[in-house]
Structures are given as C-alpha cells and as structure tokens.
Amino acid sequence: MAKLLTPDICVIGAGSGGLSVAAAAAAFGVDVVLIEKGKMGGDCLNYGCVPSKALLAAGKAAKQGQGSAAFGIHAGAAEISFSEANDHVRSVIAAIEPHDSQERFEGLGVTVLREHGQFTSPDCVSAGDHEIKARRFVIAAGSSALVPPIPGLDEVPYLINETLFNLRETPEHLGIIGGGPIGLEMAQAHRRLGAKVTVFEAQTALGKDDPELAGIVLDALKDEGIEILQETAVERVEKTGDGIAVTARNEAGDTVTQTVSHLLVATGRAPNVDSLGLEAAGVDFSKKGITVDKGLRTSNRKIYAIGDIAGGLQFTHVAGYQAGLVIRSILFRLPVSMDNDQVPWVTYTSPELGHVGLSEAAARDRFGDKVKVLTADYSGNDRAQAEAVTTGRLKLIAGPGGRLLGAEIVGAQAGEIINLLSLALSKKLKMKDLAGFIAPYPTLGELVRRAAISYYADMPKSGWLRFGIGILRKFG
C-alpha cells in the first residue's frame, strides 16, 4: 500500500528551478517533497552549462598556451591531452555536486524521493511507493535534446549533450548539426582542443542575436578554422567506412557532403512533457511545453510550471528567476508576472556575445523613431587596447526620455558587462544614469559610460545651451 505524504509543496524535478523552489520554501519552514528520477542538479550541472563552460575553459587554456604574437610571446603548438581536459570537466561537476545533492537538501528539511513522479489526479502525484497530495505543485522537469527526424540518423552513432562529455579522445573531425549557442560553443572548444570542426546550420547561425554582432563572433570562429555552413540543411546521414557521411543542401540548391568522425546534434531542446500524467492532472500542454499564465500557473490552479518545461526562454537563470516568482506567489500570495524583456543571455564563445532587453529591431517596432542606438567599440577602450582584445562592440538601445530598453555586446567579458546592464534595465535607468556613474580606469566597463555619453553628443551644438552659457559667463 502506497505511503501518503501531504506536504505544503511538491516539486517535480531537481534541476536549477526545482532546487531553488525547494531550498527557499524549506528556509521558511515549509514542508516540501522533491521528486527526481535522474541526477540531482539536472541538465545544467551534469550535461549542460557546467560541463560545457568547463570544456570551453580548457579550450581557452589551450589557445593561450600557443602564445600571443601581440605580446611578443611565441610558445608554439600546445601539447593537448583531451582526456585530461575531460578530467577537468568531471572535477568541476564533482566540486559543485554537493551543493545540489540529496544529502544537502535532506539536511535543509526537504523530503527527497529519487523516483519517477506522475500525476494520477488533479491533486495527487505518484512516486515509487509514495503518493503525494500537496497544497501546491511545481513542475520543473526540464527538457531533453531535440533530435530532428533526419533520414539515417537513427542508424549512426551520434552525440547529444548527455553523451558529448563522455569523450576521452579528441574527435578527428566533429560535425555539428545546429549553429546556435550550444553548437558554436562546442565547436570552438573542440577546435581549440585539436579537432577539425564543421557546423551545419539550416538557417542563420546565432539567429536570435543582433546580426551585426553575431557576425563578429562567426568571423572569429572561422578565423580559428571552424567551417560554418549557414542556410545549409542536413538531408541525410549514413555510416561509411571512413566515418559518418553528412549530406546537406544549401540555399542555392547545391548538395554538400562531408565525412566526419563524430556527429553532435545540437538543434535545440524539447520539454519533458511526456509520462508526467499531465492529462490526469488537468494541465494543458503542447510540444512546446506546459501552458502557463504570466504568473506561471497552469490550467490547474494548484499547479505551477517553471524552467524549460514551461516553454519560452530556456536558460538556467530563467528557471531560477521563475522559482523566485513562484515562491512569492505560493508562500506570500503576492501577484507576480514573468517579464521576458528583462532576461539576459550570453553565448560564451571567444569573443562572448551578450544580450538583455529589447533588440534594436524589437525596440523600433515598439517605439519607432524615438529609439536611439548608441555604440562604443572595444578599439576605443584603453583596457581593451592593453590586453589586445580590441574586437568587439557595445550597443545600448535608448527609448523615450533616454530610458534603457536593451543592450547588445560582443567582445571580451561581454557576459560580465551585461550584468551591469541587466541591473540597469531592471531598475529602469536612463542614459543620464549610465553616463553619470564612476567607472574605475582602465576597465572594459567604461564602454557603458562611453556609449551612454554619446546620447548627449549633440548638446554642445545647441544654440539655446550656448546662449545660456554665454549669459552665465557675464556674471563672472
């Protein structure tokens, strides 16, 4: 007979969002049951953000080991051990694991069930030999790699993010289907660690970002020897004696065939909506994810959904942001509303590519000719010159009254600079605020001030201001 648990909150999924809800609720003394059928920490810790950034760091170290002619350092070819780079990935995961572990959360007072959770009714979840009837439920079951129906793909060995980081030897030639952030980050990491890399992108690589700034990233990757085939859709793959033959067709209608030793599928994510019993729970969903309102509630008002499974922007920090909203709603009965306009994202290639708020195109659609785009180039920044990282540009999107609507940046430490701009956006700051703060010299953060100051570039030409200054001078 199943054991009945009646917590205040039941969370399904121990990834970033689910762990954040469980920890926050437990901190307030609320009874929580957390259900996870796989690894604690979810995709981000085990197969996504953490291992990918660790491998990127290894690739960056390999690049630095070759020296830099700009500084007069000629080290030659670096000796690379791919297996040791993989060991670094494993060690990073191991270092973070205790923070997300079952033991830690049980120490916080959370009941953790390492079982598959499934709704059996609108107010009951079954997990192993337990039944959970809670006041509120939070579904945070995440997403999985989306594998497209390419003919022959099911007949060849291919990699996804869950298997990529198991490689112990450098791929001779890594083919990547998908030119989004994941595909291009892994392209650069593996290229720097010694692999030949070809990327196949059916549309435009980094298509969600500013085209001009994304182009700077693509040029940098091509300069490192990565072949990026845009507007080139993979039509079939097949096993050959030499590896895996990938046949694609470009926008001109020409057929392109490349034989690769390894194939990575990086074509996006699919929400894990299957086998959760969502029909029994009365929760509306589609292939895009669970349908939620601005407050992240589902069609069953007792049930919330957060993170990748709720559709929308699929980032770890979005799941964390949504977890905070759900806690405010469940515990304090406060009205909450998801605001996608404030969500930043970063592609961690070299150079990095960051975004927050409205893009230039979206801002012009909403505010027309009241939008000003202000720029500052890395080449005009003293710190960038000193460190020979002069490839890059910052764009500030200013709206009516000089309010910051969005920002785009490509270049060194773009992810760190976008933090400042994310805060500025959330606080509704204007160009006068960004032009007026004191940035230590020399830092890349001065790019923000330089761009913001350009908002006032025409002021010295104002006849009225010049007249006023003339009047004030007469008073001594």
Q: Extract the annotated binding site.
A: 53, 117, 178-185, 201, 268, 308
- Tokens 């998801």: give the residue: 338
Identify the DSSP state of 417.
H
Residue 307's nearest CA partner among 83, 135, 144 is: 144
From residue 22, alpha-carbon distances to 139, 286, 302 in Å are 12, 26, 16
From residue 390, alpha-carbon distances to 125, 380, 407, 411 in Å are 55, 8, 19, 8
From residue 51, alpha-carbon distances to 80, 86, 127, 164, 165 in Å are 18, 9, 29, 10, 7
Identify the DSSP state of 307.
G
Q: What angle do CA 266, 272, 275 make, to 5 degrees?
A: 140
Q: Which amino acid, one-letter code, is at 158?
A: Y
Binding residues for NAD(+), as ranges, are 178-185, 201, 268
* Strand stretches in 261-402, DSSP E: 262-265, 269-271, 285-286, 289-290, 303-305, 345-347, 352-357, 372-377, 393-398
Structure tokens at 226: 């990565």
Q: Could you tell me if 432 and 403 are in contact, meaning their C-beta atoms sit under 8 angstroms apart?
A: no
Binding residues for FAD, as ranges, are 53, 117, 308
Helix, strand and coil content of the chain, in percent to the nearest 5, comes to: 40, 25, 35
Residues 6+ apart with CB under 8 A from 47: 161, 162, 164, 165
